Structure 1
């Protein structure tokens, strides 16, 4: 029996979890190299880290790196459906991480676990969706004492942090890990694009070729999703509120229209906006029989679930794993995936390990930088130093066996000078 504090589903699953974590590590060479350096240099010695992240094998490898660097780590889940119970058990039993997470936890347990990890009195916070920071500021400001700063790795979380900062409410330096070029390109575009399609197919076994997929939101996540849906033969319709992003979608050859006009023609609807009530009652009332609803935005607010319940005269919650069929009065049916939560983690396994390798390497190196430089920072949302992003990209290219050119001295001089 482990002495590490925890609340997980079953520690007996640890052996299976270790195998899962090791399998993911094979595709995470950049993070592995960071962990090896951390183990020799111990840059996080004596620091406590509170994390709210998806409890997956990829996350486990990030936390292994932090532990190798000397940190004590307490982890809560950032989504009630995304926890891999075997990974949670392995983190506790094998890697010495205090985990408070299990698959399918109720909202009260979810909120309690956030407070539990904050009560470890962390020096650093790793957040996914701003839940830890929000909980500490709104409900338990006493737990902010001693927190030096933190990192946020989602678009939704960075939006919330910037609003807190603009209103003068943010009391910590928080680094926007989400906003690095490698994170947006690999995690948001390639990771979300592939894993969302994966989740939809696992939950429905639907054929996308020849069907109309409506993508709500054309940020990095929406672009990746639209590309992959089109690559599988789907007709892709994009809805947007941002004129620049909408124009980008038009110039890439997608049909761009309103959700009102897309509702009666779409076969599959996926929201990736970071906002709420993107699919509302007036849209649900116009959808065709058999329409599929999925969300890959952080919170389960993008589809108006209350309206869906109100319109339905019957609900079959066991039609398929991670799928619920809502029947309307006129006999039309719509299929909701993963309770309107992140379909790529609820119905699938999230981003491939090779994608999270880069994202979590940035996260680990930014945590190291924050620990070393926090004394020079004030409250607010900070950018990741460009050198970290460049170093991670360099390590990834090296792991792929890709060589690139270097600037010659003459080229460097030319770029530094304005003179002809």
Structure 2
């Protein structure tokens, strides 16, 4: 059995041996790191370079690449400048080509009668909300303004329009007297954004003499004869073609016949939530806003009663159009039908295109519409048959009065001015409810 001295000697010997092993491992690791740094590609690769040679080679390659890139960049800039110049020169030609192709496409679609549905993407698809919270889209997007359509008109509208909207009236010398009363009421009501489309030289002279903003179209052989000598109805049909350019230029238009007296600014009472807002020929709430009319056919026995939906027509002499594709399509449809036989009344065609739904052989117009307040935008039937006889309603001040139901337009217009502007309480009394 070994004593204490022998055990201490054995332990010391084992400790020294362990220290040598650890020292050898550390030395090996250090040498490995040094070789890895100095010879990253290995000691025995067939094509190796020292660190300095590799660094020199990389530097020379970088210099060559920078020089080459500099030359290529200069040439590329020159080429791009040349391309931009070419595109700028051909920009107008491309616009003309696009416009021509668009017209051809629209014509083909109308001729076909089975055009693919146009879809406007207004956002990502979304889930329906809770019951009673779901609301559909009511306001169609406006078109991109295109000033190339009529640069001269664009400059006029830029000066006259307020918030991209204005009143537009068409007139020839046949309606000069009524135009004078209507324009005078516009001025009295403090309305500045209005424009007369002069259809002959007589109206141009009138506008110049009375400081009335006007626009005279460029000659058009196809419609000038109607414009200068046409009757009230003929001129009324012409407006659908003329209004198109206003919408294409990006302006909302309040179309106004000349037999209208203005008492307030109508733009303070427009909702602007539909493609078309129009006054109604209806004389009460049912006829103006719609009602369920029951058709009775006794021969059918149990099924003798059939329910129908009725509404009196919109007046084609006073309506507001937003510059949307649907509104422009409405103008195109009405103008096209009025230009072909058989002869048709523009107001009837206007309402048929607005209200008839799609059905076999026919694609309906997808336009949103709003009926104007019948007491604010008042027709002459409502005024002379109802309002003037009611003490409370006589205190109401309409926005406009349209003398559309009576042929003696001028004297009734003057009476409306006397009643509402001049305070003559008996000004409306001499006239019958209807026409003689």
Q: TM-score range by the shorter chain?
A: under 0.3
Q: TM-score, normalised by structure 1?
A: 0.25
Q: Which has the higher contact order (CA 8 A, sep 6+)?
A: 1
Structure whose CA Rg is larger: 2
Q: TM-score, normalised by structure 2?
A: 0.24
